[in-house]
Amino acid sequence: MAKNTYDIIMSGNSDNNIRFTELRNMLESLNFGYRVKGDHFIYYRNDIPEIINIQSKGSKAKGYEVKQIRLLFKKYGI
C-alpha cells in the first residue's frame, strides 16, 4: 500500500525523494495559499504566522525544505 505524501514527509525517511509537484499539491490540499516570485513558491495560511518558501531541484523538492515543512507541521499540529 502506497503512503501519501504527507505520511512520507512526516516519517522523515525520504526528504530528498519527494517530487516537487507532489509537495505543492499536498500544501494546497492543506489549505495553504501561495504566490510565486521567480522560481520561489511562497506558501502561507492565515492561522500560521510563518511562511513556507520552496524551490525545486529539478523535479524534486529540496531535502532541507522538506525537513523545514515537517518541523513546521509538528510545531503547529498540522
Query: What is the tens place of the pLDDT at every residue in 23-41?
Result: 999 999 999 999 999 999 9
pLDDT of res. 1 = 34
pLDDT of res. 5 = 92
d(CA 17, CA 51): 22
Q: To the nearest whole percent, how much of the chain has pLDDT over 70?
A: 96
d(CA 60, CA 66): 10
Q: Is the pTM of this model over 0.85?
A: yes
